[in-house]
Amino acid sequence: MDDIIPTITEDMFKAYETVRQSGITNMFDLSIVCDHSGLSREEVLAIMKHYRALTELYPHVRTL
């Protein structure tokens, strides 16, 4: 696993997933994702880059 993954907590991943599952924005519109999730641009980009690994690390978070 990449070193960045341990810095993404379950709560951070939940915040990202809440925005994703809501469908309120295109997930590539980082400013809106950041505004609604409370995550920084770097955190959102890290989640996007390591999304598959994070779904394996926190399988109960991704429900859809």
Q: What is the pLDDT of residue 24?
A: 93
> What is the model's pLDDT at position 19?
96
Residues in the chain: 64
Tell me how far CA of residue 14 lies from CA of 9, 11, 32, in angstroms: 9, 5, 16
In the chain, where are the structural domains located?
Answer: 5-57
Provide the pLDDT for residue 62.
78
For 8-64, what is each residue's pLDDT tens digit?
999 999 999 999 999 999 999 999 999 999 999 999 999 999 999 999 999 999 765
Please state, in angstroms and as integers, the Cα–Cα distance from residue 24 to each residue in 2, 30, 47, following that order: 30, 12, 18
pTM above 0.75, yes or no: yes
